[in-house]
Protein backbone atom coordinates (compact mmCIF):
# COMPACT_ATOMS: atom_id res chain seq x y z
CA UNK A 1 0.00 0.00 0.00
CA UNK A 2 2.78 2.46 0.88
CA UNK A 3 4.53 2.18 -2.51
CA UNK A 4 1.19 2.81 -4.26
CA UNK A 5 0.48 5.85 -2.10
CA UNK A 6 4.00 7.09 -2.75
CA UNK A 7 3.55 6.71 -6.52
CA UNK A 8 0.18 8.49 -6.47
CA UNK A 9 1.64 11.28 -4.33
CA UNK A 10 4.46 11.86 -6.80
CA UNK A 11 2.33 11.41 -9.94
CA UNK A 12 1.22 15.08 -10.36
CA UNK A 13 4.79 16.31 -9.94
CA UNK A 14 6.12 13.75 -12.40
CA UNK A 15 3.45 14.67 -14.96
CA UNK A 16 4.34 18.34 -14.56
CA UNK A 17 8.01 17.52 -15.02
CA UNK A 18 7.27 15.41 -18.10
CA UNK A 19 5.21 18.17 -19.72
CA UNK A 20 7.85 20.78 -18.91
CA UNK A 21 10.54 18.53 -20.35
CA UNK A 22 8.59 17.94 -23.58
CA UNK A 23 7.96 21.66 -24.06
CA UNK A 24 11.56 22.50 -23.24
CA UNK A 25 12.84 19.99 -25.79
CA UNK A 26 10.37 21.33 -28.38
CA UNK A 27 11.55 24.88 -27.69
CA UNK A 28 15.19 23.87 -28.05
CA UNK A 29 14.41 21.94 -31.22
CA UNK A 30 12.93 25.08 -32.79
CA UNK A 31 16.21 27.00 -32.79
CA UNK A 32 19.33 26.30 -34.87
CA UNK A 33 22.35 25.06 -32.90
CA UNK A 34 20.23 24.59 -29.77
CA UNK A 35 18.32 21.84 -31.56
CA UNK A 36 21.38 19.62 -31.17
CA UNK A 37 20.58 19.56 -27.44
CA UNK A 38 17.10 18.19 -28.13
CA UNK A 39 18.44 15.66 -30.62
CA UNK A 40 21.17 14.67 -28.19
CA UNK A 41 18.56 14.08 -25.48
CA UNK A 42 16.60 11.74 -27.78
CA UNK A 43 19.76 9.85 -28.69
CA UNK A 44 20.75 9.62 -25.02
CA UNK A 45 17.28 8.23 -24.26
CA UNK A 46 17.89 5.53 -26.87
CA UNK A 47 21.39 4.88 -25.52
CA UNK A 48 20.27 4.49 -21.92
CA UNK A 49 17.50 2.13 -22.94
CA UNK A 50 19.95 0.15 -25.07
CA UNK A 51 22.34 -0.24 -22.12
CA UNK A 52 19.75 -1.29 -19.55
CA UNK A 53 16.85 -2.65 -21.59
CA UNK A 54 14.39 -0.70 -19.39
CA UNK A 55 12.06 1.74 -21.09
CA UNK A 56 11.88 4.00 -18.04
CA UNK A 57 15.61 4.72 -18.35
CA UNK A 58 14.83 6.54 -21.58
CA UNK A 59 12.88 9.15 -19.60
CA UNK A 60 15.28 11.17 -17.49
CA UNK A 61 15.60 14.75 -16.28
CA UNK A 62 11.99 14.95 -15.11
CA UNK A 63 12.86 16.14 -11.60
CA UNK A 64 15.15 18.88 -12.89
CA UNK A 65 12.60 19.94 -15.51
CA UNK A 66 9.90 20.06 -12.82
CA UNK A 67 11.93 22.48 -10.69
CA UNK A 68 12.82 24.85 -13.51
CA UNK A 69 9.43 24.52 -15.19
CA UNK A 70 7.49 25.30 -12.02
CA UNK A 71 9.45 28.52 -11.49
CA UNK A 72 9.02 29.48 -15.17
CA UNK A 73 5.26 28.82 -15.10
CA UNK A 74 4.77 30.90 -11.95
CA UNK A 75 6.83 33.73 -13.44
CA UNK A 76 4.83 33.59 -16.69
CA UNK A 77 1.49 33.84 -14.87
CA UNK A 78 2.75 36.73 -12.75
CA UNK A 79 3.73 38.68 -15.86
CA UNK A 80 0.39 38.17 -17.63
CA UNK A 81 -1.41 41.16 -16.01
CA UNK A 82 1.52 43.42 -16.90
CA UNK A 83 1.45 42.31 -20.52
CA UNK A 84 -2.32 42.86 -20.66
CA UNK A 85 -2.20 46.40 -19.27
CA UNK A 86 0.78 47.23 -21.45
CA UNK A 87 -1.13 46.12 -24.54
CA UNK A 88 -4.05 48.36 -23.50
CA UNK A 89 -1.67 51.29 -23.06
CA UNK A 90 -0.14 50.67 -26.48
CA UNK A 91 -3.57 50.54 -28.15
CA UNK A 92 -4.71 53.71 -26.37
CA UNK A 93 -1.53 55.52 -27.39
CA UNK A 94 -1.95 54.53 -31.03
CA UNK A 95 -5.61 55.60 -31.04
CA UNK A 96 -4.88 58.81 -29.14
CA UNK A 97 -7.71 58.27 -26.70
CA UNK A 98 -8.27 60.17 -23.46
CA UNK A 99 -7.43 57.11 -21.40
CA UNK A 100 -3.82 57.21 -22.56
CA UNK A 101 -2.41 59.37 -19.68
CA UNK A 102 -3.90 57.20 -16.94
CA UNK A 103 -2.87 54.06 -18.73
CA UNK A 104 0.63 55.50 -19.09
CA UNK A 105 0.87 55.95 -15.33
CA UNK A 106 -0.54 52.47 -14.78
CA UNK A 107 1.85 50.99 -17.31
CA UNK A 108 4.84 52.60 -15.60
CA UNK A 109 3.62 51.38 -12.25
CA UNK A 110 3.17 47.88 -13.62
CA UNK A 111 6.60 48.03 -15.24
CA UNK A 112 8.10 48.58 -11.80
CA UNK A 113 5.93 45.77 -10.54
CA UNK A 114 7.21 43.62 -13.37
CA UNK A 115 10.77 44.28 -12.32
CA UNK A 116 9.80 43.20 -8.83
CA UNK A 117 8.15 40.06 -10.17
CA UNK A 118 11.24 39.28 -12.23
CA UNK A 119 13.24 39.60 -9.04
CA UNK A 120 10.76 37.28 -7.33
CA UNK A 121 11.26 34.76 -10.14
CA UNK A 122 15.01 34.94 -9.67
CA UNK A 123 14.48 34.50 -5.96
CA UNK A 124 12.35 31.47 -6.72
CA UNK A 125 15.21 30.00 -8.72
CA UNK A 126 17.55 30.70 -5.82
CA UNK A 127 15.21 28.98 -3.37
CA UNK A 128 14.87 26.05 -5.79
CA UNK A 129 18.64 25.85 -6.00
CA UNK A 130 18.98 26.02 -2.24
CA UNK A 131 16.43 23.25 -1.81
CA UNK A 132 18.20 21.19 -4.45
CA UNK A 133 21.49 21.66 -2.60
CA UNK A 134 19.84 20.78 0.70
CA UNK A 135 18.68 17.50 -0.81
CA UNK A 136 22.30 16.82 -1.69
CA UNK A 137 25.41 17.21 0.40
CA UNK A 138 24.95 20.83 1.52
CA UNK A 139 23.91 21.48 5.13
CA UNK A 140 21.59 24.09 6.55
CA UNK A 141 24.59 25.79 8.20
CA UNK A 142 25.91 26.77 4.81
CA UNK A 143 24.92 30.37 3.90
CA UNK A 144 21.79 30.61 1.80
CA UNK A 145 23.40 32.26 -1.22
CA UNK A 146 26.17 29.67 -1.24
CA UNK A 147 23.62 26.86 -1.12
CA UNK A 148 21.54 28.56 -3.82
CA UNK A 149 24.59 29.02 -6.05
CA UNK A 150 25.79 25.45 -5.58
CA UNK A 151 22.29 24.11 -6.04
CA UNK A 152 21.71 25.99 -9.29
CA UNK A 153 25.10 24.96 -10.64
CA UNK A 154 24.40 21.37 -9.62
CA UNK A 155 20.97 21.53 -11.23
CA UNK A 156 22.45 22.80 -14.49
CA UNK A 157 25.23 20.20 -14.36
CA UNK A 158 22.68 17.41 -13.99
CA UNK A 159 21.25 18.29 -17.40
CA UNK A 160 24.66 17.33 -18.92
CA UNK A 161 24.24 19.94 -21.64
CA UNK A 162 27.74 19.61 -23.19
CA UNK A 163 27.38 15.84 -23.43
CA UNK A 164 23.94 16.08 -25.01
CA UNK A 165 25.07 18.77 -27.45
CA UNK A 166 28.05 16.85 -28.77
CA UNK A 167 26.09 13.59 -28.84
CA UNK A 168 23.42 15.28 -30.94
CA UNK A 169 26.01 16.91 -33.19
CA UNK A 170 27.86 13.66 -33.84
CA UNK A 171 24.61 11.77 -34.37
CA UNK A 172 23.47 14.44 -36.83
CA UNK A 173 26.75 14.31 -38.77
CA UNK A 174 26.56 10.52 -38.95
CA UNK A 175 22.95 10.70 -40.12
CA UNK A 176 23.87 13.20 -42.83
CA UNK A 177 26.64 10.92 -44.09
CA UNK A 178 24.23 7.99 -44.23
CA UNK A 179 21.52 9.97 -46.01
CA UNK A 180 23.71 11.94 -48.42
CA UNK A 181 23.89 9.31 -51.25
CA UNK A 182 20.16 8.54 -51.63
CA UNK A 183 19.12 12.16 -51.09
CA UNK A 184 21.65 13.36 -53.66
CA UNK A 185 20.27 10.86 -56.21
CA UNK A 186 16.70 12.00 -55.52
CA UNK A 187 17.68 15.66 -55.92
CA UNK A 188 19.32 14.85 -59.27
CA UNK A 189 16.24 12.89 -60.37
CA UNK A 190 13.96 15.84 -59.59
CA UNK A 191 15.89 17.98 -62.10
CA UNK A 192 15.88 15.50 -64.97
CA UNK A 193 13.28 15.07 -67.72
CA UNK A 194 10.38 12.81 -66.81
CA UNK A 195 11.60 9.66 -68.61
CA UNK A 196 15.10 9.71 -67.14
CA UNK A 197 13.80 10.89 -63.77
CA UNK A 198 11.85 7.66 -63.27
CA UNK A 199 14.94 5.47 -63.48
CA UNK A 200 17.13 7.76 -61.38
CA UNK A 201 14.40 8.26 -58.78
CA UNK A 202 13.89 4.51 -58.59
CA UNK A 203 17.56 4.00 -57.84
CA UNK A 204 17.42 6.73 -55.20
CA UNK A 205 14.42 5.09 -53.54
CA UNK A 206 16.21 1.73 -53.54
CA UNK A 207 19.27 3.38 -51.99
CA UNK A 208 17.04 4.86 -49.30
CA UNK A 209 15.64 1.46 -48.25
CA UNK A 210 18.77 0.09 -46.49
CA UNK A 211 19.47 3.51 -44.97
CA UNK A 212 15.96 3.91 -43.55
CA UNK A 213 15.93 0.38 -42.13
CA UNK A 214 19.42 0.60 -40.62
CA UNK A 215 19.98 4.16 -39.38
CA UNK A 216 17.57 4.11 -36.37
CA UNK A 217 19.32 1.07 -34.93
CA UNK A 218 22.89 2.20 -35.57
CA UNK A 219 22.10 5.60 -34.03
CA UNK A 220 20.77 3.87 -30.91
CA UNK A 221 23.83 1.63 -30.72
CA UNK A 222 26.12 4.63 -31.20
CA UNK A 223 24.34 6.45 -28.37
CA UNK A 224 24.81 3.41 -26.13
CA UNK A 225 28.54 3.02 -26.76
CA UNK A 226 29.59 6.55 -27.67
CA UNK A 227 32.00 5.18 -30.29
CA UNK A 228 31.97 6.96 -33.62
CA UNK A 229 32.67 3.75 -35.54
CA UNK A 230 29.40 2.24 -34.30
CA UNK A 231 27.51 4.75 -36.42
CA UNK A 232 28.73 2.88 -39.49
CA UNK A 233 28.91 -0.69 -38.15
CA UNK A 234 26.45 -2.35 -40.50
CA UNK A 235 27.52 -5.94 -39.59
CA UNK A 236 26.67 -5.26 -35.94
CA UNK A 237 23.24 -4.03 -36.97
CA UNK A 238 22.68 -7.22 -38.97
CA UNK A 239 23.63 -9.31 -35.91
CA UNK A 240 21.15 -7.33 -33.83
CA UNK A 241 18.43 -7.95 -36.40
CA UNK A 242 19.13 -11.70 -36.62
CA UNK A 243 18.86 -11.96 -32.83
CA UNK A 244 15.72 -9.83 -32.40
CA UNK A 245 14.04 -9.38 -35.80
CA UNK A 246 10.56 -8.53 -34.56
CA UNK A 247 11.83 -5.96 -32.06
CA UNK A 248 13.90 -4.32 -34.80
CA UNK A 249 10.90 -4.32 -37.12
CA UNK A 250 8.74 -2.66 -34.45
CA UNK A 251 11.31 0.01 -33.65
CA UNK A 252 12.17 0.91 -37.26
CA UNK A 253 8.52 0.94 -38.34
CA UNK A 254 7.64 3.17 -35.39
CA UNK A 255 10.45 5.57 -36.26
CA UNK A 256 9.42 5.84 -39.91
CA UNK A 257 5.71 6.15 -39.03
CA UNK A 258 6.44 8.86 -36.45
CA UNK A 259 7.96 11.03 -39.18
CA UNK A 260 4.80 11.04 -41.32
CA UNK A 261 2.75 13.58 -39.28
CA UNK A 262 5.68 16.00 -39.53
CA UNK A 263 5.10 16.22 -43.28
CA UNK A 264 1.66 17.82 -42.79
CA UNK A 265 2.91 21.26 -41.65
CA UNK A 266 5.02 21.36 -44.82
CA UNK A 267 1.88 21.28 -47.02
CA UNK A 268 0.84 24.71 -45.71
CA UNK A 269 3.36 26.59 -43.61
CA UNK A 270 2.03 27.35 -40.10
CA UNK A 271 1.92 30.95 -38.83
CA UNK A 272 5.12 32.27 -37.31
CA UNK A 273 3.56 32.18 -33.84
CA UNK A 274 2.95 28.44 -34.24
CA UNK A 275 6.30 27.55 -35.77
CA UNK A 276 7.18 25.57 -32.63
CA UNK A 277 4.31 23.09 -33.12
CA UNK A 278 6.22 20.79 -35.54
CA UNK A 279 9.02 20.59 -32.97
CA UNK A 280 6.49 19.62 -30.30
CA UNK A 281 5.12 16.85 -32.55
CA UNK A 282 8.69 15.79 -33.32
CA UNK A 283 9.54 15.34 -29.63
CA UNK A 284 6.23 13.70 -28.70
CA UNK A 285 6.47 11.08 -31.48
CA UNK A 286 10.20 10.50 -31.95
CA UNK A 287 10.96 10.17 -28.22
CA UNK A 288 9.04 6.87 -27.85
CA UNK A 289 10.44 5.72 -31.20
CA UNK A 290 14.02 6.30 -30.00
CA UNK A 291 13.29 4.41 -26.79
CA UNK A 292 11.94 1.51 -28.85
CA UNK A 293 15.11 1.57 -30.97
CA UNK A 294 17.25 1.36 -27.83
CA UNK A 295 15.12 -1.50 -26.52
CA UNK A 296 15.51 -3.38 -29.82
CA UNK A 297 19.29 -2.91 -29.73
CA UNK A 298 19.40 -4.19 -26.15
CA UNK A 299 17.41 -7.27 -27.06
CA UNK A 300 19.62 -7.92 -30.06
CA UNK A 301 22.82 -7.48 -28.05
CA UNK A 302 21.48 -9.47 -25.08
CA UNK A 303 20.37 -12.36 -27.29
CA UNK A 304 23.46 -12.19 -29.49
CA UNK A 305 25.14 -14.86 -27.36
CA UNK A 306 22.42 -17.31 -28.30
CA UNK A 307 22.20 -18.96 -31.67
CA UNK A 308 20.90 -16.45 -34.24
CA UNK A 309 17.60 -17.21 -35.89
CA UNK A 310 17.75 -18.94 -39.25
CA UNK A 311 16.92 -17.25 -42.55
CA UNK A 312 13.43 -18.76 -42.66
CA UNK A 313 12.51 -17.47 -39.19
CA UNK A 314 13.67 -13.96 -40.08
CA UNK A 315 12.17 -13.97 -43.57
CA UNK A 316 8.80 -12.45 -42.65
CA UNK A 317 10.15 -9.58 -40.50
CA UNK A 318 12.85 -8.96 -43.11
CA UNK A 319 10.27 -8.63 -45.88
CA UNK A 320 8.09 -6.38 -43.73
CA UNK A 321 11.10 -4.25 -42.89
CA UNK A 322 12.00 -3.90 -46.56
CA UNK A 323 8.40 -2.94 -47.34
CA UNK A 324 8.50 -0.28 -44.62
CA UNK A 325 11.75 1.13 -46.03
CA UNK A 326 10.36 1.09 -49.57
CA UNK A 327 7.20 2.87 -48.42
CA UNK A 328 9.32 5.51 -46.72
CA UNK A 329 11.38 6.04 -49.87
CA UNK A 330 8.26 6.35 -52.03
CA UNK A 331 6.70 8.72 -49.52
CA UNK A 332 9.84 10.83 -49.51
CA UNK A 333 9.79 11.09 -53.30
CA UNK A 334 6.08 11.98 -53.29
CA UNK A 335 6.54 14.64 -50.62
CA UNK A 336 8.08 17.06 -53.14
CA UNK A 337 4.64 17.46 -54.69
CA UNK A 338 3.07 18.29 -51.32
CA UNK A 339 5.80 20.28 -49.62
CA UNK A 340 5.63 24.08 -49.74
CA UNK A 341 9.32 24.19 -50.73
CA UNK A 342 9.21 21.34 -53.25
CA UNK A 343 12.36 19.21 -53.38
CA UNK A 344 13.55 20.74 -50.10
CA UNK A 345 11.37 18.04 -48.52
CA UNK A 346 14.17 15.57 -49.31
CA UNK A 347 16.28 17.40 -46.73
CA UNK A 348 13.61 17.20 -44.00
CA UNK A 349 14.62 13.81 -42.65
CA UNK A 350 12.69 14.08 -39.38
CA UNK A 351 12.98 10.39 -38.62
CA UNK A 352 16.77 10.59 -38.40
CA UNK A 353 17.85 14.21 -38.02
CA UNK A 354 16.15 17.32 -36.62
CA UNK A 355 12.71 18.94 -36.84
CA UNK A 356 14.07 22.34 -37.89
CA UNK A 357 14.56 22.93 -41.62
CA UNK A 358 17.78 21.15 -42.51
CA UNK A 359 19.06 23.84 -44.85
CA UNK A 360 22.61 23.10 -43.67
CA UNK A 361 22.32 19.63 -45.19
Q: How many domains does the chain have?
A: 2
Same domain, 333 and 204: yes
Q: Which of 102, 123, 158 is the last residue of a domain?
A: 158
Give the pLDDT score at 195.
Answer: 72
Give the pLDDT score at 146.
Answer: 55
Same domain, 94 and 210: no
Q: What is the mean pLDDT of each run of 10 residues along the chain (361 residues)?
A: 56 80 86 89 93 88 78 69 66 58 56 57 55 52 56 68 91 91 88 78 89 92 89 85 88 88 65 69 88 91 64 82 90 78 75 60 35
Residue 88's Cβ-side half-sphere holds a number of Cα atoms within 13 Å equal to: 17
Distances, alpha carbon 170 to alpha carbons 42, 97, 345, 358, in Å: 13, 57, 23, 15
Beta strands in 229-324 (DSSP E): none
Residue among 48, 290, 25, 44 nearest 164 (CA): 44
Same domain, 148 and 221: no
Check if the beta carbon of residue 110 is closer than 8 Å to that of residue 82.
yes
Give the pLDDT score at 4.
Answer: 55
Q: Please indicate, yes or no, if residue 14 is contained in any of the structural domains.
A: no
Check if the beta carbon of residue 324 is closer than 8 Å to that of residue 256.
yes
Same domain, 296 and 215: yes
Same domain, 83 and 130: yes
Give the pLDDT score at 12.
Answer: 75
Q: pTM for the complete prediction?
A: 0.79
Give the pLDDT score at 294.
Answer: 92
Domain that holds residue 175: 32-59+163-347
Q: Please indicate, yes or no, if residue 71 is contained in any of the structural domains.
A: yes
Beta strands in 56-100 (DSSP E): none
Same domain, 52 and 81: no
Q: Please indicate, yes or no, if residue 54 is contained in any of the structural domains.
A: yes
Give the pLDDT score at 357.
Answer: 44
Q: Which of 158, 175, 205 is the last residue of a domain?
A: 158
Give the pLDDT score at 359.
Answer: 39
Amino acid sequence: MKPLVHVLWRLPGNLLGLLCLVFALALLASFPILNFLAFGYLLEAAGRTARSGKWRDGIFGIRQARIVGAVAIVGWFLVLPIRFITSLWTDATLLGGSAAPSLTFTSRLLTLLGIGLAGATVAGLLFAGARHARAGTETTRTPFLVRARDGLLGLIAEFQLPKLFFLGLRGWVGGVLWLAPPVAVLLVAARLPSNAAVLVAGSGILLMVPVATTLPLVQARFAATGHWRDLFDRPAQRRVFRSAPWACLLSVSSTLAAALPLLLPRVELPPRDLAWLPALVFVALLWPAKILAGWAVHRGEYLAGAAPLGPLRTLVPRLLLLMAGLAYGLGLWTSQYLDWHGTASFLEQHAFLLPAPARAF
